[in-house]
Amino acid sequence: MSDLEVLPELKEIIGALLFAAKKPLTAKEIRKALLDAGASYGGPYQEFSEFKDDDILAAIEDLKTGLVQSGSGLCIAEVAHGFRLQNKISCGPWVRTLLDKDRTARLSKPALETLAIIAYRQPILRSEIESVRGVAVDQVLRNLVEMQLVKVTGRSELPGRPWLFGTTQRFLEHFGLRSLEEMPGMEELKRMVPVEKAERTKPFPEMEKELEQREEQAVTEESDESGEAEEAD
């Protein structure tokens, strides 16, 4: 490093990491990046390896304050147990217009209804979702799985061992939630619309096979849920 080069402050490094990341970053992930950079570049870069999680969280708060004071239209949001650099909500209409998001980002009403049932009642069977909605959810459920908002969480012990569904990390990112507990009326809505216990789900071979393949892939690609979902209103 040249004598003329000046190392950035911790908050500047964190800002750059949040800007470059394709998913929300936790303090632990940020600290790992500092440790890895120190090990790779050595010298003065190793000084940043000494920062702890508390130092990182304090720097993030400082960065938040700076973004608000600068009026940059950007902010740091706590999403999916991590931190994400994003545009302010008030600037959303212009960002969506630029990116032409309105045509594709909105989930259909059936998709939202199905997603809400899964989010509040997970893990849940397909037949249980259908008993609440009163209609078949095969295609809607397939779409939610393809969007990586819903995933297979396991199999029920009922005859035929039908699939159980739940939400993903990307679901939290999609809706800007830090955790499921942050969903509105979580405890109250969990008690609403009692779901009748299903004996078994109707067969749907094509979807079942596809989900089985996804489940097998998840064993070796468990950490591959870091891609970004398109933001919803």
Mean model confidence pLDDT for the chain:
79
Evaluate whether 10-93 and 109-220 have a shared fold.
yes
CA distance 196 to 194: 6
Tens of pLDDT, residues 159-180: 989 999 999 998 888 888 888 8
Beta strand 74-79 with 124-125 is unpaired
Comparing C-alpha atoms, which of 100, 118, 9, 140 is closest to residue 62?
9
Residue 226 has pLDDT above 60, yes or no: no
Please give the CATH architecture assigned to the domain spanning 109-220.
Orthogonal Bundle (1.10)
Least confident of 38-47, 57-66, 99-108: 99-108
Q: Are 231 and 174 in contact (CB under 8 A)?
A: yes
Domain chopping of the chain, boundaries? 10-93, 109-220
Q: Full-prediction pTM beyond 0.75?
A: no
Classify 148 in phi/psi space as left (phi over 0), alpha (psi -120 to 50) or beta.
left
The class (CATH top level) of 10-93 is mainly alpha
Q: Which amino acid is at 127?
A: S
Please tell me the predicted confidence (pLDDT) of residue 185: 59
Give tens-digit pLDDT for 1-38: 554 468 999 999 999 999 999 899 999 999 999 999 99
Q: In this structure, what are the phi and psi dihedrals at residue 151, rounded to the nearest 5 degrees?
A: -140, 165
The residue that leads in pLDDT, 196 or 139, is 139
